[in-house]
């Protein structure tokens, strides 16, 4: 596993090409470390499923932009008010207009998608790539989420192409806001 610091990642077009080619990697966010890949690449998404030992249940994605969200998701008045809070530590569950904009393995065939735009420098790379990036906690299902190299699950570390590391994170996973029905559900953290 190759560990890369922020500056090296930001200056490396090679790593962006690797992501577009199906690399699976660990990345920092505004909350914790995420396990990611290009969300349009079925093979890469399936590799994350294997690493996490999570054969089903949807993954969330980092959207390239609010415009991408508006183009691909149904936005009502409530959803619009939450979009105005982005970037931030939220995962918005929205109905998709068209499921063909992500690999079907991302959301397990559902017509909904969990979407994030973290308040973090890594978000700008999703924007540059102009594709959604799977962003799920870097742990095996049921295990502790990664906040530093000290608590990286060794199986996950061995299964990724690279890790973008910026030191210990003190956050918690993002708050989930389900906007798919008239009664908004906000998951407590």
Number of domain units in the chain: 1
What pLDDT sits at residue 166? Answer: 94
pLDDT higher than threshold 80 for residue 182: no
* 187 band by pLDDT with thresholds 50, 70 and 90: confident
The structure tokens 């017509």 sit at: 111
Identify the CATH number of the domain in which residue 20 sits. 3.90.870.10
Pairing of strands 112-116, 90-95: antiparallel
Q: Assign residue 57 a region: left if phi > 0, alpha if psi is -120 to 50, beta otherwise?
A: left
pTM of the model: 0.92
Full domain range(s) for residue 171: 2-186
What pLDDT sits at residue 22? Answer: 97
List pLDDT tens digits, range 46-71: 999 999 998 888 999 999 999 999 99
């Amino acid at each position: 596993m190759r560990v890369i610091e922020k500056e090296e990642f930001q200056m490396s077009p090679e790593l962006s090409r690797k992501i577009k080619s199906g690399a699976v990697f660990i990345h920092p966010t505004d909350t914790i470390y995420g396990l990611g890949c290009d969300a349009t690449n079925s093979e890469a998404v399936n590799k994350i499923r294997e690493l996490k030992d999570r054969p089903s249940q949807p993954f969330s994605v980092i959207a390239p932009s609010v415009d991408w969200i508006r183009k691909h998701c149904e936005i009502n008045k409530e959803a619009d008010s939450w979009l105005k809070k982005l970037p931030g530590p939220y995962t918005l569950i929205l109905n998709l207009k068209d499921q063909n904009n992500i690999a079907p393995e991302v959301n397990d065939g559902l017509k909904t998608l969990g979407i994030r735009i973290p308040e973090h420098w890594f978000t700008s790379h999703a924007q540059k790539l102009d594709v959604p990036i799977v962003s799920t906690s870097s742990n095996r299902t049921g295990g502790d989420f990664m906040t530093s190299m000290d608590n990286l699950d060794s199986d996950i570390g061995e299964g990724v192409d690279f890790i973008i590391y910026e030191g210990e994170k003190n956050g918690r996973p993002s708050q989930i806001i389900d906007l798919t029905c008239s009664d908004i559900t906000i998951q407590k953290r």
